[in-house]
Amino acid sequence: MAKVFPFTSVLRRNMLEKEKPDLYYALAKRNGEVDINELAERIQRSCTVNWADVLCVLRALQTEMIESFRKGEVVRLGDLGSFFVTLRSSGTLILKDVKEGIIKGARVRFRPGKEIKDAMKTLTYSKFKQEGEKEDPEDPGDGGGEAPDPTI
């Protein structure tokens, strides 16, 4: 059975064209988190490697990824996908003004592999409603093809 991915809505201003009206956008609803210990436990249950070994490998992976990022390398984890560093910087009009001082920071980005991309294409969605939240008064109430909310 397919899991229904919950979302909520958020009102955002267009910062590039401030005279335009604010618009509502769909926002992924997070449903908790999984830490490294829980991941190790789940992996242990699905294979023959014990929890301590899985945890050790995951921590070693983190250490090696950091070292690779420091060298400017892309970390490609087979079909899982790849991790790479991007920079945030100020822009300059002159090429020779591009120096270390304009860099504001670095981020790690993830590019998923094919299997993860394909899994994202199969998600179904349902709007998350807080307990006591009223229905949208502009909604005619015909359901509009919306999937039932699994949290109710």
* Residue ranges per structural domain of the chain: 1-29+74-152, 33-72
The whole-chain average pLDDT of the chain stands at 85
Residue 145 has pLDDT above 90, yes or no: no
Confidence of residue 7 (pLDDT cuts 50, 70, 90): confident
Top pLDDT among 129 and 126 is at: 126
Nearest C-alpha neighbor of 58 from the set 70, 46, 41: 41
Q: Contact 110/82 with Cβ under 8 angstroms? A: yes
Q: Contact 44/33 with Cβ under 8 angstroms? A: no
Residue 2 has pLDDT above 60, yes or no: no
Q: What percent of the chain has pLDDT over 90?
A: 59
Q: What is the pLDDT of residues 96-123, one digit of tens each?
A: 999 999 999 999 999 999 999 999 999 9
Residue with tokens 């958020």: 10
Top pLDDT among 133 and 147 is at: 133
Q: Looking at residue 73, what is its pLDDT?
A: 96
Top pLDDT among 146 and 22 is at: 22
Q: What is the pLDDT of residues 30-80, one digit of tens each?
A: 888 999 999 999 999 999 999 999 999 999 999 999 999 999 999 999 999
Q: What is the dihedral of CA 77, 80, 81, 84, to 10 degrees?
A: -50
> 100-129 b/e with 16+ CB inside 10 Å = b?
eeeeeeeeeeeeeeeeeeeeeeeeeebbbe
Residue 144 has pLDDT above 50, yes or no: no
